[in-house]
Structure 1
Amino acid sequence: MSLTFSGTDGIIILVVYALIMLLIGYWSGRGEKDLHNSLSGYYLAGKNLGIIALFFTLYATQYSGNTVVGYAPTAYRTGFSWLQSVPFMTIIIGVYLLFAPRLYVISKRENFVTPTDWIDYRFRSKAVTLLSIFLMLWGLGNYLLEQLVAIGQAVSGLTGGTIPYQIAVVAFVFVMLTYEWLGGMKAVAFTDVMQGIVLMAGIITLLAGSLYLVGGDFVSTTKMIAETEPAKVGVPDMMTLINWFSMFLLIGFGAAIYPHAVQRIYSAESERTLKRSFARMAWMPPITTGLVFIVGIIGIALFPGLDRDGSEQLIGMIANEVAAINGLYYWLMVLFFGGIVAAIVSTADSVLLSFSSLISNDIYGKLINNQASERKKVLVGKIVGIIVIVVLLWIAWYPPATLYEIFVLKFELLVQVAPAFILGIYWKRMSAMPVFWGMLIGALVAGLMTFTGHKTFMGVHGGVIGLAINFFIAVIGSYIVPPTAAKQKKVENMTSLHVKSS
């Protein structure tokens, strides 16, 4: 993301953002006596997030600075077929609504802290729980790696290379760890409010500047692209359409069961607040990914002929041109790129918080030391979080792939947990053994395809093929080896919205 902004201006903005995040962390933890002594207090903000904080923390979960940095170059390379980024973000909300309101009511009643609390509660199987923990940690680890790479690129670009990539990553990871340590989920949610507002405003400003650069005529820009690169505006072929549908399933089911997304469901102060937040989230795909898509298409006209590596710098190149329009646009772009960094950090902090909660509650608290106090569990989660960051920093020092490739990788295995949530919350006949084997075989198929370089088969992603196999085994297996009538009655009570399970 190469920029020619003044390095000093970029550093000033980043320092301001960092100080604001640290102050929010301090303020969030000040006077909260139970914050560090309670899993629910530290990881779920006491399950008391109101509509503004919940909406923006959901927004930060679904979108990050990488939405801008990574999606616009993808639109540049693929053309109008990347319009799929709008509906696949919309589908995530639809999948949430399949299970989130019901899960919220059960989680409130049963005092869930982590996503696998639900898995353990519903299936009563260590094998299912452990496998789901592994798949979720895999997804979170990949997602966190993606954010660390994006932080380094964004900070280095914003400061014109004054702050090198590696130093940028370390500096903002330190800021993130500090305010998260101080305020937990409450600090994360409140920083998300600031970062979400800046990101939305910045995207609109970038689009306005981009349209100015092409004379405000998007129709003529499209016609010019049709003449010079007709493949990018042509009707998608059948293989592309199949790939679209595959991506809808992969992202829709995968993103909706992000562990940190599930924990935001738990954190809502009421079911009404949760539903109202989702209603507002339904408007965000066209406002966020839709506008970024248009910016990427405009980039084809502004900077034709970029190769893959060159296109990865597209947002920085457009921002330089927009910043050159006048002084107002210059400072708006500086603020925007500082906001991108802050938004990436806001996504990373959510992921890290969820990762540490799975370690502290599900692995340490349930498997290693089930007599540990909640204070000790929280402390273990914090320490493990730092260790994980150190390991991922070592990997991020020399990033292994483009941002988009890292983005796709995490869903292939994470999505295999979806049947346990979406079917398990409604279907009392669903039993643990088929769920385990479906999840395991689906993950092996998806993982094998991913790591052998065959990410798709006839346009269908390996994760979706694995998910189809997973669903088939879970459903057919539950018919062949169903739970007893007594067990089904117990599950019906467990998943009821009104009956307290025994």
Structure 2
Amino acid sequence: MDVLAVSIFVFFFLLVTILGFAAARWRRADNLDNLDEWGLGGRGFGTFIAWFLIGGDLYTAYTFIAVPATLYAGSVVGFFAVPYTIVVYPIIFLFLPRLWSVSHRHGYVTPADFVQGRYDSKPLALAVAVTGILATMPYIALQLVGIEVVLQVMGIGVDEGSWLVGHLPLFVAFGVLAAYTYSSGLRAPALIAFVKDILIYTVIIVAVIYLPAQLGGWDAIFSAAQGSFDAFNTENADAIAAGEVGAKGSIPPAAAHWAYASLAFGSALALFMYPHSVTGVLSTRSRSVIRRNAALLPAYSFLLGLLALLGFVAIAAGVTVAGDPPNPQLAVPQLFENEFPSWFAGVAFAAIAIGALVPAAIMSIAAANLWTRNIYKAFINQDATPKQEASQAKIVSLVVKFGALVFVLALSKSFAINLQLLGGLWVLQTLPAIVLGLYTRWFHRWALFGGWAVGMGWGTWLAYGVSSPTQAHFGGPLVPFPGTETNVYIGVVALLANLVVTVVLTVVLRAMGVDEGTDQTQESDYRADAGDEGVEEELDLTAPAHG
């Protein structure tokens, strides 16, 4: 254990802990006993704060570990996260302002609130809420996995002689995260995101300048990576031909082009279906803030591209990782420990760990909002007061984090990763009800429910049937497109089935005259902005108290 690196790590962890609790007084409202304040930060964040918050929400600690790890492991689709985070912003530029407008006009806190108001269907809203919670849980678990990876490389929290001592640092991180989220709500990750993003940008920019200079430049790094992949493929030619192991490479072959493209596109469509993404967007003060962020957030995609290259840097630096089989997720933390001075390695480790705390907090708040509004209030206590809603959400945010901790401690890491991959598939099935619902009311509410059920069921079944050299089920995100041998992303296949069923059932149900429910929204709601009637700013940015 490097004492200096650990000391720097602890310093930054204590700093964000103090900020997390202090956030309850930042942009202070009369009280936090309602979901608008606790769960959406007063709906008053401007462009600057929202940029840090949404960026800190989407680009998680696990992203910063897993993306370069895929390149380090020689995955030919390792770069897919870069194009999908580029494609996603023009998409959200179109539909998220409409969701913001209708949500602020009607006081919607969750995407399921919108679905309930648009389609007058509690079952459909419940389906959207449950899907969001299911997709979010393993995502939170992976943030804790990211913290655990950093702790393992630092040499703390890995005492195999005592299970409790070995996991004590993770318990501490969990307890601190739970406490300040409970106390401060969405304001805590919004404030901590400043520290997280500054550290991340600093570490990555220094890394992509300093490390190549130490290793002979980028040409030498790319040559070393390609040489490593070629050597592996030559040594394992027979096993690759038999399908026992996968070939390594940096560029997808022609046979994988559709797999790469569909994975990137499907992931882009799914990204802002996640409840935590919508929570960050609904916390902003106007439609213009969303549009400006859609234009500015690609800066994170640039950062992600630089980060991904660290997988190749780790190969050129001769980084070896622990585990049987070796765990590529350790590659970047191990690279930092090997190549940087102790003090800067401590900064890098702190950046990754804090990068886990921000999204984990937002995700737990988003899941708690879904439970409170669309399960607790919709089915259990329909007369719940705003204070009761806030109390319920605070408690559920703790339960969600505890469930994520159980994922990490009781289940294998590969299982948590597989469930997160399923989460993307699942949350994509809510797209017809949410995104298409922002533009048209033509789809029948029961048709949307039927399409969702088919997409969820068939997609999960397809994923279960995928094997890999290391596991019999849930072995990857790709399957052959029906009737072909071309691999594509399972989520896209399931979404197409969802849409076909939805369209067919809509035609049938409309012909049968089945009740379509009452739409609580009107066209003008989707263009409303801050200052319009019924869309007043919840929090005056120029004042320290509630406006």
1:355-398 C-alpha deviation (Å, 9 max, x unpaired): 11112222112211111211111111212222232333223114
Q: 1:449 to 1:92 in 2, by over 3 A?
A: same
1:256 counterpart = 2:272: yes
1:245 counterpart = 2:261: yes
1:42 counterpart = 2:38: yes
Report deviation, 1:197: 1.5
1:410 counterpart = 2:423: yes
| Residue correspondence of structure 1 range 80-479 to structure 2 within 5 A | 81-161=77-157, 166-215=167-216, 217-230=217-230, 232-233=248-249, 235-287=251-303, 289-303=304-318, 309-323=326-340, 329-402=341-414, 405-452=418-465, 453=473, 455-458=477-480, 459-479=487-507
User: What is the alpha-carbon root mean square deviation over aligned residues?
Assistant: 2.7
What letter matches 2:310 in structure 1?
Answer: V
| Residue correspondence of structure 1 range 9-24 to structure 2 within 5 A | 9-24=4-19
Determine the C-alpha separation between the residues in 2 that align with 1:119 and 1:128.
Answer: 7
What letter matches 1:12 in structure 2?
Answer: S
Report deviation, 1:343: 0.8
Q: 1:173 to 1:330 in 2, by over 3 A?
A: same
- Partner of 2:442: helix, strand, or coil? coil
What letter matches 2:23 in structure 1?
Answer: S
What letter matches 1:223 in structure 2?
Answer: S
Q: 5+ unaligned residues in a row in structure 1: which ranges?
A: 324-328
Determine the C-alpha separation between the residues in 2 that align with 1:193 and 1:376.
Answer: 31
Q: 1:104 to 1:77 in 2, by over 3 A?
A: same
- Of 37, 54, 59, the residue aligned with 2:55 is 59
1:125-171 C-alpha deviation (Å, 9 max, x unpaired): 11111111111110011111111222222233235557865222211
CA contact (8 A) 1:185 1:353 kept: yes
- Partner of 1:424: helix, strand, or coil? helix
1:260-308 C-alpha deviation (Å, 9 max, x unpaired): 1111111111111121112110232122x20122111222222378785
What letter matches 1:204 in structure 2?
Answer: I
Determine the C-alpha separation between the residues in 2 that align with 1:303 and 1:115.
Answer: 46
Determine the C-alpha separation between the residues in 2 that align with 1:12 and 1:162.
Answer: 17
CA contact (8 A) 1:88 1:252 kept: yes
Hey, what does 1:326 align to over in structure 2?
A: none
Report deviation, 1:337: 0.8
CA contact (8 A) 2:89 2:298 kept: yes
Q: 1:165 to 1:441 in 2, by over 3 A?
A: farther
CA contact (8 A) 2:157 2:168 kept: no
Determine the C-alpha separation between the residues in 2 that align with 1:141 and 1:36.
Answer: 24
Determine the C-alpha separation between the residues in 2 that align with 1:99 and 1:155.
Answer: 40
Higher deviation after alignment, 436-445 or 294-303: 294-303
1:73 counterpart = 2:69: yes
Q: 1:203 to 1:440 in 2, by over 3 A?
A: same
CA contact (8 A) 1:120 1:129 kept: yes
Q: 1:194 to 1:383 in 2, by over 3 A?
A: same
What letter matches 1:497 in structure 2?
Answer: R
Q: TM-score, normalised by structure 1?
A: 0.90
Q: 1:16 to 1:51 in 2, by over 3 A?
A: same
Report deviation, 1:259: 0.3
CA contact (8 A) 2:5 2:343 kept: no
Determine the C-alpha separation between the residues in 2 that align with 1:448 and 1:486.
Answer: 30
Determine the C-alpha separation between the residues in 2 that align with 1:359 and 1:490.
Answer: 22
Determine the C-alpha separation between the residues in 2 that align with 1:22 and 1:284.
Answer: 25
Q: 5+ unaligned residues in a row in structure 2: which ranges?
A: 160-164, 231-246, 466-472, 481-486, 535-547
What letter matches 1:156 in structure 2?
Answer: Q
What letter matches 1:151 in structure 2?
Answer: I
What letter matches 1:481 in structure 2?
Answer: L
- Partner of 2:252: helix, strand, or coil? coil
What letter matches 1:251 in structure 2?
Answer: S
Report deviation, 1:322: 1.7
Q: TM-score, normalised by structure 2?
A: 0.83
Determine the C-alpha separation between the residues in 1 that align with 2:18 and 2:251.
Answer: 50
Q: 1:109 to 1:474 in 2, by over 3 A?
A: same
What letter matches 1:290 in structure 2?
Answer: G
- Partner of 2:56: helix, strand, or coil? helix
- Partner of 1:457: helix, strand, or coil? strand
CA contact (8 A) 2:141 2:404 kept: yes
- Partner of 2:78: helix, strand, or coil? helix
